[in-house]
Amino acid sequence: MKKLIKSLSVFLIILFSVATVNAATLTDKLKDGHKLRLGFGTAVPWAYAGDNGEALGFVNMIALTVLEEMGITEHETKVFEWSGLIPGINANRSDMITGGMYILKSRCANINFSDPIGVFGDAMLVPKGNPKNINNYADVISTGAKLVTGAGFNTVEAAKKFGVPDSQMLLVEGEVGILAAMKAGRADVAVQTFFGAKEHEEKTNGAFEVTDPKLMPMETVNVVGIGFRKTDTEFRDNFNAALAKVLANPSKMLERAGKYGYDRAQLPPPEMTTEWACSTK
């Protein structure tokens, strides 16, 4: 009986310790020596890992510039499938989502976002010459084309909103899965971010081409933010304060992120706030 009570006591102490660690905010953890963990998927040129696991891509460059403004110079990288980014941060497997997430109402229900780091649009990726003349969701529907996109991408919600039936949609894991489906002929058209589509166009030496994003619905223009757990509002607020300083004098950020295609055209306009995106997107 004494052994049972002792074992139970040890178990409760361990359980309490784990719960205490999990309940600590990111600000508290960093004070205790915790190394910040960046969570992202493989989405060139947005965010991806280098040969040594280093954080690459323009969203990571922006995030690292802001973190340096906060005095944080050390970090680790955690690579997820895109659909695992939000579950991953909420399960405490990462501390920030730097994958390049559009700020959407459905996502705002599960995580907090920073102020926007940029404004972006989507585009279609089609075979060279665009044989089916597909430039937007209406064209997908009218031609009966099979549309591929990433599971968990904003484009899933958008396609359904504009009437694309499930029978015409193919969902795969991330950017790599999209290109594989197009190459294999399992889909007639892909929808993804303009940057992602351009990367695939370049990767295939022109076997595919990117449609004009201006032919997409205006509602598909979105802002991107950095994701945080709901419990880490203090850290998110401090990140926002540092982000404001970086955006006020963006030359360093633009130099680092510009290597991946980000430029002044992507700087977020003042009216496109996180609050606006969370309530309207």
Residues 169 and 150: their CA atoms lie apart, in Å, by 10
Pairing of strands 122-127, 189-193: antiparallel
In terms of domains, do 243 and 156 share one?
no
Residue 125 CA, distance from chain mean position: 19
Residue 248 confidence class, pLDDT cut points 50, 70, 90: very high
In terms of domains, do 263 and 241 share one?
yes
Pairing of strands 96-102, 36-40: parallel
In terms of domains, do 94 and 229 share one?
yes
0.85 exceeded by the pTM?
no
pLDDT in tens, 95-135: 999 999 999 999 999 999 999 999 999 999 999 999 999 99
Residue 5 has pLDDT above 60, yes or no: no
Helix intervals (H) in 144-187: 154-161, 174-183
pLDDT in tens, 45-73: 999 999 999 999 999 999 999 999 999 99
Among 17-21, 91-95, 266-270, the least confident range: 17-21
Residue 219 confidence class, pLDDT cut points 50, 70, 90: confident
Query: Mean pLDDT throughout 79-96?
Result: 97
pLDDT in tens, 167-182: 999 999 999 999 999 9
Domain boundary among the residues 199, 220, 241 is at 220
- 3-class SS of residue 150: strand
CATH number, residue 256: 3.40.190.10
Q: Which residues, 6+ apart, have CB-to-CB distance to 175 below 8 Å?
A: 41, 42, 43, 44, 150, 192, 196, 199, 200
- What pLDDT does 20 receive? 41
Domain boundary among the residues 203, 220, 237 is at 220
Residue 12 has pLDDT above 50, yes or no: no
- What pLDDT does 123 receive? 94
Q: Which residues, 6+ apart, have CB-to-CB distance to 224 below 8 Å?
A: 59, 100, 101, 102, 103, 116, 117, 118, 119, 120
In terms of domains, do 45 and 72 share one?
yes
Q: Are 149 and 191 in contact (CB under 8 A)?
A: yes
Q: φ and ψ at 89, to 5 degrees? A: -70, -35
- What pLDDT does 16 receive? 44
Residue 135 structural domain: 122-220
Domain boundary among the residues 220, 244, 270 is at 220
In terms of domains, do 138 and 110 share one?
no
Instruction: Flag whether 97 is in a domain.
Output: yes
Residues 15 and 225: their CA atoms lie apart, in Å, by 34
Pairing of strands 75-79, 48-49: unpaired
Strand partners, 76: 37
